Amino acid sequence: MLWMPLLNALDVKSCLGLLLISLLAFDFWRSKNAPNFPPGPWGFPFLGNVFFGFDCRAMDEVAAKFGNIFSLRVGYDKIVLVSGYEWVKEVLVTQGDYFLDRLISPPIKDVFKGNGISLSSGYKWRKQRHFTAFHLKAFAEGKNALETHIQQECIYLCQSFEEQQGSPFSPHDILNSATANIIGCFVLGKRFDDNFTDFQNLLFNSDTFLENIPQIQIYNAFPWLVKRFYGPHKTILANYTKLTAFIKKQIEKHKKDWDPFDYRDFIDTYIGEIDKRRKDTEAAFTVDNLACITVDLFKTGTQNTTDTLQWALLLMIKYPDVQKKVQDEIDCVIGKWHQPCLADRASMPYTDAVLHETQRVGNIFSLTAPRLTSRDYALAGYFIPKGTLVICNLSSVLKDSLQWEKPDQFYPEHFLDDQRNFKKREAFYTFSAGKRSCVGEQLARNILFLFFTSLLQKFSFSAPEGLEPRLEDQEQVKTSHKSSQMCASLR
């Protein structure tokens, strides 16, 4: 009878074994790829490639093994990753209409409710994007309003740099505030003042879902599980609620003295639209949407523009000969005392080329947010079923050796022709491309030009003694650049 407990134990073990085999078989069946689906690395049972580092370097490594089109599995979601100019162009531009939508995944639904521009889809996205793009353009072109605001901000920016008296400092927060002030002028009709510090703190220091890719993956894959626990997603949600609460207060203030014959800013214009589009419920012109778009513009616009400017200054330190050439061009075209204006750009091909090359090398926005395919699609001979997520590696386009003469070097000549005139490049995908490309491109380009030329007109930039700017490792720079120190000496 001694063997009876052993048998019982074996029974339990066999049952568990059988259960495990059934679960694995179910997982295998659920995660099976469609025929001719792009290949990809092995993933853990049930989890898939949830721990894959979603950055351009990790993507380059996998692409080197599986080719420019490969797939990953996150939970039971399939993601196709596309690299190289040829295929990224096909996805974003040539066949872009089939890759426009975002996945309204559980975290996005919980936080943004499908509102805003970056994370909305379909008819609602089209209407909101079109409206915002139209007014951003009008702001950029109308009565020189934008140029005057940026020029005014350049004066404050230079004052803040001068206050450092040539000592080492990190320009990140100063640049961030200056950029946020320009977006503030567009959205709220004014620069930030001391009352806005809470909002600015939240804006600059709070993460978004887009920055926390591993957390999104886990939330996307197991929303029912993650929702129950405390985690970064709860902090993101709480911060987002505070940000929109602040904006909603501003909207209420605007409503009190709203004048249909005198729109002061984007909020006033949008309030007018809410009234006009009341019947078009699908387009969703609502206060909630306005708050979400406002946060979208501040968050996306400020961060990317600041990161680019920071890169530009670090590159000037690393390449003093380029800094000198930019300053010579500024002295020659603008002079030492005139304030730079947008019309100067046409006569400053070298400075324009340096800014473009900074964006190419800086590679601030290396991966597009995931797009959802709206129909079955054949890409490079692979089959991609409707409803698959697709991410494009913009970095691989900006470093594509078939497109760029010196892809891994800082080489402003990429944007100059034989006569040293500015030359546009097809593969300059730093703002992405196609219908879902950056809505603030023009605004960003204007801010970059005026801030950069104003700073280099007045200051020479150098590294603090004993410190070299670290630019080799892009991710390293991204994480540490907030605290990158530099010296700005009056010229």
* Residue ranges in contact with ligand HEM by CB under 6 A: 117-118, 129, 183, 296-297, 300-301, 304-305, 308, 364-365, 368-369, 430-432, 436-440, 443-444
Q: Which is nearer to ligand HEM, 384 or 391 (CB)?
A: 391
Give the single-character DSSP code of 80.
E
What radius of gyration do the chain's Cα atoms show? Answer: 25
Note whether 63 and 81 are within 8 A (CB).
yes
Strand arrangement, sheet containing 77-82: 69-74, 77-82, 389-392, 371-372
Q: Which is nearer to ligand HEM, 115 or 462 (CB)?
A: 115
Query: For tokens 């491309």, what's the residue?
Result: 433
Note whether 318 and 357 are within 8 A (CB).
no
Query: For 131-164, b where at least 16 C-beta lie within 10 A, e where not — what string?
Result: bbbebbeebbeeeeebbebbbebbeebbebbeeb
Dig out the tokens for 4 from the structure.
């009876």
Q: Which is nearer to ligand HEM, 315 or 439 (CB)?
A: 439
DSSP secondary structure of 316-360: HHH-HHHHHHHHHHHHHHT-SSSPP-GGGGGG-HHHHHHHHHHHH
Least Å from the CB of residue 275 to ligand HEM: 23
Q: Which is nearer to ligand HEM, 301 or 340 (CB)?
A: 301
Distance CA 350, CA 421 (A): 8
- 252 C-beta neighbours (distance < 10 Å), count: 10
Least Å from the CB of residue 199 to ligand HEM: 16
Q: Which is nearer to ligand HEM, 100 or 487 (CB)?
A: 100
Distances (CA, A) of 132 to 57, 225, 291, 309: 33, 37, 13, 24
Least Å from the CB of residue 312 to ligand HEM: 10
Q: Which is nearer to ligand HEM, 50 or 364 (CB)?
A: 364
Contact partners, residue 274, CB within 8 Å, separation at least 6: 285, 286, 287, 290
Least Å from the CB of residue 372 to ligand HEM: 12
Least Å from the CB of residue 224 to ligand HEM: 27
Least Å from the CB of residue 229 to ligand HEM: 28
Dig out the tokens for 46 from the structure.
């049930």
Q: Which is nearer to ligand HEM, 150 or 486 (CB)?
A: 150
The alpha carbon of residue 155 and the mean position of all alpha carbons in its chain are separated, in whole angstroms, by: 27
Q: Which is nearer to ligand HEM, 182 or 487 (CB)?
A: 182
Q: State phi, psi for 131 to the nearest 5 degrees.
A: -60, -45
At 421, which amino acid appears?
N
Q: Which is nearer to ligand HEM, 33 or 286 (CB)?
A: 286
Least Å from the CB of residue 482 to ligand HEM: 17
Element (H, E) at 15: helix 3-30
Helix (H, G, I), strand (E, B) or coil at 135: helix
Q: Name residue 48's beta-bridge partners.
A: 44, 74
Least Å from the CB of residue 120 to ligand HEM: 8
Q: Which is nearer to ligand HEM, 133 or 333 (CB)?
A: 133
Least Å from the CB of residue 271 to ligand HEM: 19
Q: State phi, psi for 146 to the nearest 5 degrees.
A: -65, -45
Least Å from the CB of residue 364 to ligand HEM: 5
Q: Which is nearer to ligand HEM, 129 or 233 (CB)?
A: 129
Q: Which is nearer to ligand HEM, 294 or 460 (CB)?
A: 294
Burial class (CB in 10 A: 0-12, 13-18, 19+), 333: middle
Q: State phi, psi for 317 to the nearest 5 degrees.
A: -70, -40
Least Å from the CB of residue 154 to ligand HEM: 16
Dig out the tokens for 67 from the structure.
């080719």
Residue in the shown chain whose Cβ atom is closest to ligand HEM:
440
Least Å from the CB of residue 449 to ligand HEM: 11
Dig out the tokens for 469 from the structure.
């700017």
